[in-house]
A = this chain, B = another copy of it.
């Protein structure tokens, strides 16, 4: 039986992508599904909807509830929580670096970025933050940081973001099954895994 792959689309600045990223590993393992981490940029997608920042900033009542909800959710999951400042964080460097690290550490890198940002309130647009994470992953830090700024990786991230738009993504996290079913939101992670399992 060939391995079933679920695409996990996220923006590092996306709040609910944090619990999704922290939960997806064990759940996917139990379902025998391989997760493809697909960072992309929500900015162009939000811009197409007329927003120049996160909808949680555009709509303050919704934003207030989101922060409270995320705090409750993290408490339930025993995840550390700190509200990053500013919000949203600029996720360009983190997204490029996620595409530059060796495949075997992608998941660990992504989780570490989310933990730094939403668990410790760190800035993820700073090379210092990303550098510390890479050091812990025991990769060649200067080489990865160089690669993250290369034309190849810049193009790759643009292509990922273009593909996200083509697939019809409008927010993050989103999950896309091999048969093209789109599930939006951390709350749909289990359902997306179940769908991918049934479609197998």
Interface on A for B, CB 8 Å cutoff?
49, 59, 61-62, 64-65, 68-69, 72, 76, 168-171, 182-185, 187-188, 191
- Tell me how many chains of this kind the complex includes: 2
Contact between B184 and A187, CB atoms less than 8 A apart: no
Docked pose: A184 CA to B68 CA in angstroms: 11
Contact between B184 and A65, CB atoms less than 8 A apart: yes
Known: A61-B170, A72-B191. 17 other contacts (CB 8 A): A49-B59, A59-B170, A61-B168, A61-B169, A62-B170, A62-B171, A64-B168, A65-B168, A65-B170, A65-B184, A68-B182, A69-B183, A69-B184, A69-B188, A76-B191, A185-B187, A187-B187
Interface CB pairs A-B, < 8 A, 14:
A61-B168, A61-B169, A62-B170, A62-B171, A65-B168, A65-B182, A65-B184, A68-B182, A69-B183, A69-B188, A72-B191, A76-B191, A185-B187, A187-B187
- Residues of B near A72 (CB, < 8 A) are 191
The distance from the CB of A26 to the nearest CB of chain B, in whole angstroms, is 20
The distance from the CB of A145 to the nearest CB of chain B, in whole angstroms, is 34
The distance from the CB of A139 to the nearest CB of chain B, in whole angstroms, is 36
Question: What residue in chain B is nearest A48 (Cβ atoms)?
Answer: B61
- Residues of B near A184 (CB, < 8 A) are 65, 69
The distance from the CB of A2 to the nearest CB of chain B, in whole angstroms, is 25
The distance from the CB of A78 to the nearest CB of chain B, in whole angstroms, is 16
